[in-house]
Amino acid sequence: MTRRLVLLVLALAGLTACRRTPERTAAADLPALPVSTARVESAALVRQQPVAGTVRPAARATIAARVTGVVSGPLPALGATVEAGAVLVILGADEVRARLAQARAGLDQLDRELARERTLLERNATSPENVRLLEDRRHAAVAAVDEATVLQSYTTVTAPFAGVITRRLVETGDLAAAGAPLLELEGTTRLRAEVAIPESLDLLDPGATLAVEADGTPLPGRLAEISPAADPATRTRLAKVDLPAGAAVRSGQFVRVLWPAGRTTALLIPANALTRFGQLEQVFVVTTTNRAELRLVRTGGREGDRLVILSGLAAGETVVTGPAPTLSDGQPLEVRR
């Protein structure tokens, strides 16, 4: 039984070989197909490491109270757009208003006393020293009025720049203490990608050009700032990369910044030399006898209009660019120079 099984397997193998031979012979008998070709090049490339980041506006601020007061008046809604200098919050602070009134009253009283003393001095009824003392007291009263005026201005909170309200931390009627955050404001004109760069990567100079990927879309970026010191907890440096104006990104969006991570040697072919069959990547190699040889390859990304080849080809080989759909393995080729 074993001998019969072996004979049966050999017979099936022979039949299969006989069936395949006409196919290969048919491809070899086809007329030579004119093709364009390119050489597989070996080039030194800058290896890039993707680093996760977040889109943030270049201008953002937490608006805080500078005096204690009760929040009054309508507050801007979340997402509201405000102009620079627009009133955001009004704080009711009666003690600040009373302090300003007291300072002004004291100044008015000193002005009257000083005028009276100067009149008496003209009549030699008082001493110059009394006049100088009143003048000094008046200088102090003017400073008190200025101080109270500034405090009064703090009860009206305005936007330091144009932007969008992204967070509201108080409501009308709340008591806001001095230093308490009220609102968060973000600008909309300049956006950046903030990334934590591992300390193992190179420290670049501001102004360096970097590639940024946002939802699969490549964007040009420019390094605006980078910390020279690494965070001892995360062993990373904070870097801020400016994004182009009008880029289709939003605050808080996830992005990847491609950071240089040394140089490497890679094989490159034109992108139009690659064809796909399902999940398989393949190219046609021109043999020494000017025939097409189908070769499976594995790619590793793009460099402009060229593909990086990880396996399947060797430097110096010739591949067919823009192969016709009818091109077959083993078919003769007419190579165009």
Tokens, residue 260: 């240089």
Query: Which residues, 6 or more positions from 32, have their beta carbon under 8 angstroms from its beta carbon?
Result: 290, 331, 332, 333, 334
- Indicate where the chain has its CATH 2.40.30.170 domain(s): 49-59+188-261
Say which CATH architecture domain 25-46+265-336 belongs to: Beta Barrel (2.40)
Q: Is 155 within 8 Å of 93 (Cβ atoms)?
A: yes
pLDDT (tens place) for every residue of the chain, 337 residues total: 455 544 444 444 444 444 344 444 566 678 889 999 999 999 888 788 999 999 999 999 999 999 999 998 789 999 999 999 999 999 999 999 999 999 999 999 999 999 999 999 899 888 999 999 999 999 999 999 999 999 999 999 999 999 999 999 999 999 999 999 999 999 988 999 999 999 999 899 999 999 999 998 889 999 999 999 999 999 999 999 999 988 889 999 999 999 998 888 889 999 999 999 999 999 999 999 999 999 999 998 888 889 999 999 999 999 999 999 999 999 999 987 6
Collapsing DSSP to helix, strand or coil, 188 comes out as: coil
Domain 49-59+188-261 fold = Elongation Factor Tu (Ef-tu); domain 3 (2.40.30)
Q: What residue type is 290 in one-letter code?
A: N
DSSP states along 127-173: -HHHHHHHHHHHHHHHHHHHHHHHHHHTTEEE-SSSEEEEEE---TT
Q: Is 88 within 8 Å of 62 (Cβ atoms)?
A: no
Per DSSP, what are the bridge partners of residue 115? Answer: none
* Residues 27-66: tens digit of each pLDDT: 667 888 999 999 999 988 878 899 999 999 999 999 999 9
- Closest among 144, 141, 149 to 107, alpha carbons compared: 141
Report the Cα 15 to chain-centroid distance in Å.
63
DSSP states along 25-80: HHHHTSPPEEEEEEEPEEEEEEEEEEEEEEEEESSEEEEE-SS-EEEESPPPPTT-
- Indicate where the chain has its CATH 2.40.420.20 domain(s): 25-46+265-336
| CATH number given to 62-186 | 2.40.50.100
* Residues 66-85: tens digit of each pLDDT: 999 999 878 999 999 999 99
Collapsing DSSP to helix, strand or coil, 106 comes out as: helix
Q: Measure the N-to-C terminal CA separation of the chain; round to a whole number of Å.
A: 60
Q: Is 309 within 8 Å of 269 (Cβ atoms)?
A: yes
Q: For residues 30 and 27, give the distance between their C-alpha atoms in angstroms, rounded to a whole number.
A: 5
SS percent in the chain: helix, strand, coil, step 5:
25, 45, 30
Mean of per-residue pLDDT scores for the chain: 89
Q: What residue type is 228 in one-letter code?
A: P
Q: For residues 215 and 250, give the distance between their C-alpha atoms in angstroms, rounded to a whole number.
A: 11
- Closest among 261, 265, 281, 267 to 310, alpha carbons compared: 267
Max distance between CA atoms of the chain, in angstroms, equals: 148
Residue 4 has a pLDDT of 54
Cα torsion 221, 224, 229, 234: sign = negative
- Supply the pTM of this predicted model: 0.64
Collapsing DSSP to helix, strand or coil, 256 comes out as: strand
- Indicate where the chain has its CATH 2.40.50.100 domain(s): 62-186
Residue 170 has a pLDDT of 94
Query: Which residues, 6 or more positions from 312, have their beta carbon under 8 angstroms from its beta carbon?
Result: 283, 295, 296, 297, 298
Q: For residues 226 and 245, give the distance between their C-alpha atoms in angstroms, rounded to a whole number.
A: 21
